[in-house]
Chain A
C-alpha cells in the first residue's frame, strides 16, 4: 500500500527566504503525487500535482515541486516566501490504479517577519 512521510513537523523561515518542504513516498510503481495547503480556518487546497512527464511541476502561488524517483521524494519549493504562506502543508500520494489518496501528517510553516 502507498504511504507518505513528511519528516519535518515544523519549519520556520524568514519572509523573503527560500523554502523547501520534504516529502518521501512509498509505492512500488510511479505514484500520483500532490501537495495541499491548509490555512487556519480554511479548507484544503491543491497547490500542485504530478502524474507523469516533466518531473518539475509548477503550482499555484509560486510553488513548485520536483519528483525524484531515485530518492522517492517530491519536495515542495518556493524561492521567496510571503507572510501569507504561513499554513500547514500536506503531501499526498495516490496509487496508479487505486483512487484512494493518502496524506502525510503535514508540515506547519511559520514565517518570521
Chain B
C-alpha cells in the first residue's frame, strides 16, 4: 500500500493557461474523489468516481473543470483557461466501499496550484 499519490506537488501557471493534475489512488480502491481546499477552509467537494464512472460533479464547478478516470485506476483533473480564483490545494482521495458500508477516505498530499 503506497498511499494516494498526486502529481505535481506544486504548479505555477499564468492566467488563461490550462493545467492538468494526476491522482493515483490506492490500487484496490474503487472510489476516487477530488476536493479543493483554500487557506482557512475545509475541503470543498468537486467530483467523485466509482471505478470509471463519474457519479457526481459539484454544481459549484464551472465548465472549465473536467475530470476523468478512464480505466478506473488513475484520474486526471483538468482546468482550462485558469483564473486567479482557481488558486488552491487540489486534493485527491480514494476509498474502498463494500456493500452499504462506508470506508474511510485516504487522502493524497495534494497539488498546490498558483495562478499568476
A interface residues with partner B (beta carbon < 8 Å): 6, 9, 32, 34, 36, 42-46, 49, 51, 90, 92, 94, 98-106
CB distance from A61 to the nearest CB of B (A): 15
Does B97 contact A43, Cβ atoms closer than 8 Å?
Answer: no
Q: Contacts A32-B102, A99-B97: A90 and B43 contacting too (C-beta < 8 A)?
A: yes
Does B31 contact A43, Cβ atoms closer than 8 Å?
Answer: no
B7 on the interface (CB 8 Å rule)? no
Partner of B104, one of A42, A49, A102, A103: A49
Q: Contacts A43-B108, A44-B91, A99-B31: A106 and B102 contacting too (C-beta < 8 A)?
A: no
Give Cα A42 to B48, complex, Å: 22
Does B104 contact A34, Cβ atoms closer than 8 Å?
Answer: yes
Chain A interface mostly: strand
B62 on the interface (CB 8 Å rule)? no
- Give the most central of B33, B44, B102: most A CB within 10 Å: B102
* Chain A residue at minimal CB-CB distance from B104: A46
Give Cα A103 to B105, complex, Å: 12
Instruction: Give 26 A-B contacts (CB < 8 Å), ordered by A residue.
Output: A43-B4, A43-B91, A43-B109, A43-B110, A44-B91, A44-B93, A44-B105, A44-B107, A46-B104, A46-B105, A51-B101, A90-B42, A90-B43, A92-B42, A99-B31, A99-B48, A99-B50, A99-B55, A99-B97, A99-B102, A101-B33, A101-B105, A102-B45, A105-B41, A105-B42, A106-B42
Does A100 contact B48, Cβ atoms closer than 8 Å?
Answer: yes
B108 / chain A contacts, CB cutoff of 8 Å = 43
Give Cα A99 to B101, complex, Å: 10
Give Cα A37 to B20, complex, Å: 27
CB distance from B104 to the nearest CB of A (A): 4
B97 / chain A contacts, CB cutoff of 8 Å = 99
CB distance from A10 to the nearest CB of B (A): 10
Give Cα A52 to B27, complex, Å: 28
Does A49 contact B102, Cβ atoms closer than 8 Å?
Answer: yes
Chain B residues 14 to 39 lying within 8 A of chain A, measured CB to CB, are 31, 33, 35
A44 / chain B contacts, CB cutoff of 8 Å = 43, 91, 93, 105, 107
